[in-house]
Homo-oligomer: A and B are copies of this chain.
């Protein structure tokens, strides 16, 4: 009988629908998962507590929160209280324009922090729930961004010099939101405990920001009941 050490992976976990599905997929693939959440000054910080609970519930080997103050730069509705989160945008606008909820260089910063963590604990993979379909307006959600980061990671670290080359794994990259929800439902992801909303009302999803709209339509398209607790006043956009 041979015993092989499981592949160690850092999974970026926001506590939202996508990253929680990504976490479940990494665990289902037999990875030893070290979840990492980034407190970047987001206004929807409730997601950090959810991330911690989800990492424990799903069986991550560890969970860590690292703080970086991206709000110091401003420039995004997610970190700057003076910029309103857009509500009720049309599907056309959502698919075409870079929204004010875009956080400058967010995925670059988050992957850099995951890289630091991976280097210290000797992880061979970084898993990230980046999606190029629904977030086509975000430059740092494109396949060429992830490929460029993987190349950078391989020259940036000690492991890149002498050890095994680090892999960036993005299992949701080319899935629709409905496809992600179908995958996660097979993996028994407790979606009612995840939070996607950019601008929650007393801890409940607003139902009208881009993230809520995408999530809602995803459940509809998958034909799976949406367990998200929405704020009372949230009306579906028709």
Contact = CB atoms under 8 A, between A and B. Distances in A.
Interface of A: 64-70, 72-75, 98, 102-109, 111-113, 115-117, 119-120, 139-140, 142, 144-145, 148-149, 151-153, 155-158, 160-161
Contacts of A139: 155-158, 160-161
B75 A104 contact: no
Q: Is the interface of A mostly helix, strand, loop or mixed?
A: helix
A75 B157 contact: no
7 contacts: A64-B72, A66-B69, A67-B72, A68-B113, A98-B158, A104-B115, A145-B152
A120 B73 contact: yes
Contacts of A67: 67-69, 72
How many copies of the polypeptide does the oligomer hold? 2
B160 A155 contact: no
B66 A107 contact: no
B120 A75 contact: yes
A120 B72 CA distance: 11
Contacts of A156: 105, 107-108, 139-140, 145, 148-149
Contacts of A102: 158
Which interface residue of A69, A140, A156, A160 has the most chain B CB atoms within 10 A? A156
B157 A140 contact: yes
Given A73-B66, A152-B145, A115 B119 contact: no
A111 B105 CA distance: 10
B104 A116 contact: yes
